[in-house]
C-alpha cells in the first residue's frame, strides 16, 4: 500500500499530510504534518496569523492489521496578537484527531472509554494488550467521569437495594422505570439517605419498591404525595415463604399419612421386621446443631437479645430465633433429614429386611445381586456401610418417602397449567394428608390469581379469609399486607412493578464481580451510571 493510499485510510477528512511510514519493532510509525488553516486562540477566539514555531508530538492510534500505530504529528505553535488575551502562544489541534495533553488519538480514546466502561481497569488493560491498544489501567480509569444526575426525579421511580458485601453492607439503586435507566446510586440503604435524595430531586409521582420498611418510611417523609407500589414478585416470594413454613410445621402429618397409605414393594418371601429406635449418628451437622442450641440458650438465659446473640456467634437473627423457639429434638430431626440419601435410599428397606431376617448372616454381595435386578446402580460398598451401621445400632430408620417442604411449595406456587401430571398427583396426596396445607394451597392459588390478573379490589376479601382460618404463617403474611394495604393494592392494580429495577440489580452484580470487590464506591457508581 502506497503512502497516498495509507493516508486515505488513516487521515481521511483530516487536515494532515502524510510524509513517511516506517515499520519498527513496536509496530507502525507514521510521520505526518498538520496543514490546516491557522486556528483561533482558545483564550480569546481571535484568528491567529503568525507562526511561533513547530514541534513533533506523539499520538497512539488505532491498530492497523494487527500492528500498533504511532503517529508522529508535527504541529505549529502560533502567536496570539491580541493584547488583552492571557495567552501569548498556543498550539493548533487537528479536528477529530488530537486534543490538548492527550497522547492518543480521539478514535483510540473512544475505544479506550468503551473498554473502561465494560471491563474497568485491570481486565480492560489485559484486553487492550490483546488488541494492540496502548492503554494502562490508570489511563482507562481516568477516562471514566461521573455522569450528571438529573435534577428532577423521574415520574415513575424504582428503588431497591444491592449488596456491596452480602450480609454486611448494602447500597441503593434508583431506576427510571419507564426508560429502564439507572438514575443514581446511593452508598447505603438507610431511610435518611433516601429521604434526602427525594427531597433534593422532586418530581416522582409513583415509586415502586419492595417490602423494605426503610424505603417506605423515607417516601412518607420526603414524598408523601407519591403513590407507593409494592412489587408483585416480592409479594409472591413472601407468600411462598409463608407456605413453606406451613409445610415445615406439618411435616409430621405428611409422614404419618405416607406410612399409613404406602408400602415398599418387596419380594414375596421377605417380611419387614421392626428395628429398635436407632440412635442419632454423631455426624458433623448433628453435633453442630447441638452446640448451637446450647450456645443460644445459654446466652438467652443470660439476658442477651437476639441481635446481640447473632453478632456474638455470627448467625442470622432468624436462625437464632429458630434455635431459641424450637425444641432440640425437632432441630436434630431436621438436621438428620438434610443428610444426603444416596443411591441406596430406595432399597434400604429391602436391605434392612434381608439383614434382620437372616440374623445378619447375609453378605453385602448377595444383597447387591438381588437389588441389582430391582434397578440398583450403586456399589457394594454402600451396602457394607449400611450393614455396619445396623450392627452398631446407628442406622437411621427407614422412613417413608415424602416430598420436602420446598418441593411442596414449588408445586403450590406453580401455575396449574405448568404442573406435570405426576406432581399434581403427589400434591393431591399432600392435600389429603394435611388440611392446613390444603388451606394454605387454596389461599395461595387465589392470591396468585389476584396478582396475575391484577384484581386489587378483591385484596381485602382475601385478607379477611386468611385471617379467619388460615395456618399461622399465612395468617401472619395477611397481617403484613394489611399494614401496607395501600401499596399492595396499588401493586395488584397498576401496571408498574420493580421488574426493571431487578434487572439493573443483576447488571450491578455482574459489574461488581468483574471488579473483584476491590474498587471504590465512586468507581462502581460511575460504571453503573455510564451506559455504553
Rounded mean pLDDT, 180-192: 91
The fold for domain 156-231+499-525 equals: Nucleotidyltransferase; domain 5 (3.30.420)
Annotated domain spans of the chain:
3-103, 109-142, 156-231+499-525, 233-246+403-491, 284-338
Closest by CA position to 35, among listed 18, 12, 55, 47: 18
- Report how far residue 531's alpha carbon sits from residue 18's, in angstroms, rounded to the nearest whole number: 36
SS3 227: strand
Half-sphere exposure for 278 (CA within 13 Å, toward CB): 20
Of 344, 345, 356, residue with least CA distance to 271:
356
- C-alpha span between 246 and 435 (Å, rounded): 11
pLDDT in tens, 71-105: 888 999 999 888 888 888 988 888 888 888 888 88
Give the per-residue pLDDT at 380. Answer: 87
- Residues 317-356 pLDDT 10s: 889 998 998 888 778 777 765 544 467 777 887 888 888 8
From CA 19, how far away is CA 300, in angstroms rounded? 85
Distance between CA atoms of residues 31 and 86, nearest Å = 32
Secondary-structure breakdown of the chain: helix, strand, coil percentages, each rounded to the nearest 5? 50, 15, 35
Q: Give the pLDDT of residue 251.
A: 80
C-alpha–C-alpha distance, residues 361 and 371, integer Å: 17
Q: Which residues pair with 171 in a beta bridge?
A: 162
Q: Locate 312 and state its grid cell.
A: 456474638
- The one-character DSSP state at 278 is P
Q: What is the pLDDT of residues 263-307, one digit of tens each?
A: 444 443 444 444 444 455 566 788 888 888 999 999 999 999 999
Cα separation of 509 and 318, whole Å?
A: 25
Helix (H) or strand (E) holding 127: helix 122-130
Q: Rounded to an integer, what is the distance from CA 382 to the centroid of its chain? A: 39
How many whole angstroms separate alpha carbon 215 and alpha carbon 186?
12
What's the pTM? 0.64
307 within 8 A of 314, measured Cβ to Cβ: no
Distance CA 16, CA 224 (A): 61
* pLDDT range class, residue 7, cuts 50, 70, 90: low
Amino acid at each position: 500500500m502506497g503512502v497516498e493510499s495509507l493516508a486515505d485510510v488513516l487521515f481521511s477528512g483530516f487536515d494532515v499530510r502524510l510524509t513517511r511510514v516506517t515499520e519498527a519493532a513496536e509496530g507502525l510509525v507514521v510521520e505526518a504534518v498538520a496543514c490546516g488553516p491557522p486556528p483561533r486562540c482558545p483564550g480569546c477566539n481571535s484568528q491567529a496569523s503568525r507562526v511561533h514555531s513547530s514541534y513533533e508530538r506523539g499520538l497512539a492510534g488505532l491498530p492497523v492489521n494487527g500492528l500498533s500505530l504511532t503517529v508522529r504529528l508535527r504541529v505549529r505553535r502560533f502567536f496570539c496578537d491580541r493584547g488583552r488575551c492571557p495567552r501569548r502562544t498556543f498550539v493548533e489541534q487537528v479536528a477529530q484527531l488530537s486534543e490538548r495533553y492527550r497522547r492518543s488519538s480521539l478514535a483510540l480514546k473512544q475505544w479506550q472509554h468503551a473498554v473502561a466502561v465494560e471491563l474497568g481497569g485491570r481486565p480492560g488493560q489485559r484486553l487492550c494488550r490483546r488488541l494492540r491498544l496502548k492503554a494502562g489501567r490508570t489511563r482507562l480509569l481516568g477516562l471514566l467521569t461521573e455522569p450528571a444526575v438529573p435534577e428532577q426525579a423521574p415520574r415513575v421511580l424504582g428503588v431497591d437495594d444491592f449488596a456491596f458485601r452480602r450480609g454486611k453492607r448494602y447500597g441503593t439503586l434508583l431506576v427510571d422505570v419507564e426508560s429502564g435507566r439507572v438514575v443514581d446510586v446511593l452508598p447505603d440503604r438507610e431511610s435518611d439517605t433516601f429521604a434526602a435524595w427525594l427531597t433534593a430531586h422532586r418530581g416522582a409521582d409513583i415509586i415502586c419498591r419492595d417490602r423494605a420498611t426503610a424505603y417506605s418510611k423515607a417516601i412518607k417523609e420526603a414524598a408523601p404525595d407519591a403513590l407507593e407500589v409494592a412489587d408483585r414478585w416480592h409479594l409472591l416470594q413472601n407468600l411462598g415463604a409463608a407456605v413453606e413454613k406451613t409445610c415445615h410445621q406439618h411435616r409430621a402429618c405428611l409422614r404419618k399419612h405416607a406410612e399409613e397409605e404406602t408400602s415398599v414393594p418387596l419380594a414375596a418371601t421377605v417380611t419387614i421386621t421392626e428395628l429398635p429406635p436407632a440412635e442419632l449418628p454423631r455426624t458433623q451437622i448433628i453435633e453442630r446443631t447441638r452446640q448451637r442450641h446450647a450456645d443460644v440458650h445459654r446466652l438467652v438465659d443470660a439476658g442477651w437479645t437476639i441481635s446481640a446473640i447473632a453478632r456474638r456467634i455470627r448467625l442470622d437473627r432468624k436462625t437464632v430465633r429458630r434455635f431459641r423457639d424450637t425444641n432440640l429434638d425437632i432441630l436434630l430431626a431436621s438436621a438428620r433429614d438434610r443428610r444426603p440419601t444416596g443411591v441406596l435410599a430406595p432399597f434400604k428397606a429391602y436391605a434392612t429386611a434381608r439383614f434382620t431376617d437372616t440374623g445378619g448372616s447375609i453378605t453385602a454381595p448377595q444383597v447387591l445381586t438381588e437389588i441389582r435386578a430391582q434397578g440398583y446402580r450403586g456399589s457394594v460398598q454402600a451396602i457394607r456401610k449400611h450393614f455396619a451401621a445396623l450392627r452398631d445400632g446407628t442406622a437411621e430408620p427407614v422412613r417413608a418417602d415424602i416430598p420436602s417442604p420446598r418441593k411442596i411449595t414449588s408445586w403450590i406456587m406453580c401455575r396449574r397449567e405448568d404442573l406435570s401430571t405426576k406432581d399434581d398427583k403427589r400434591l393431591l396426596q399432600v392435600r389429603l394428608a394435611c388440611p392446613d396445607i390444603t388451606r394454605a394451597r387454596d389461599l395461595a392459588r387465589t392470591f396468585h390469581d389476584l396478582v396475575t390478573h391484577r384484581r386489587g379490589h378483591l385484596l381485602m376479601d382475601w385478607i379477611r379469609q386468611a385471617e379467619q382460618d388460615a395456618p399461622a404463617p399465612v395468617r401472619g403474611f395477611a397481617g403484613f399486607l394489611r399494614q401496607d394495604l395501600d401499596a399492595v393494592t396499588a401493586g395488584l392494580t397498576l401496571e408498574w412493578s420493580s421488574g426493571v429495577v431487578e434487572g439493573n440489580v443483576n447488571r450491578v452484580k455482574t459489574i461488581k464481580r468483574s471488579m473483584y470487590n476491590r474498587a471504590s464506591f465512586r468507581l462502581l457508581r460511575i460504571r453503573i451510571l455510564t451506559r455504553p
